[in-house]
Amino acid sequence: MKLTISIFYFLFSLFFSGAEVSDEIVAALKQGKSAEIAKYFAEKVSVKIANQEDVLSKSQAEANIKYFFEKHTVKSFSSSHVSSMNNSSQYITGTLETSNGKFRVSILIRNNLISQFRLENDND
Percent of the chain with pLDDT over 70: 82
Which of 100, 43, 94, 108 has the alpha carbon at shortest distance from 71?
A: 100
Question: pLDDT tens across 1-26, in order?
Answer: 655 555 555 445 545 444 478 889 99
Are 115 and 46 in contact by the 8 Å Cβ rule? The answer is yes
Q: List domains and CATH numbers for the chain.
A: 2-121 (3.10.450.50)
Residues 7, 112: Cα–Cα separation, whole Å: 20
User: Do residues 44 and 56 make contact, with C-beta atoms less than 8 angstroms apart?
Assistant: yes
Q: What is the pLDDT of residues 93-116, one digit of tens each?
A: 999 999 999 999 999 999 999 999
> How confident is residue 77, by pLDDT bands cut at 50, 70 and 90?
very high
pLDDT band at 52; cut points 50, 70, 90: very high
β-strands 52-57, 41-49 pairing: antiparallel
pTM of the entire structure? Answer: 0.79
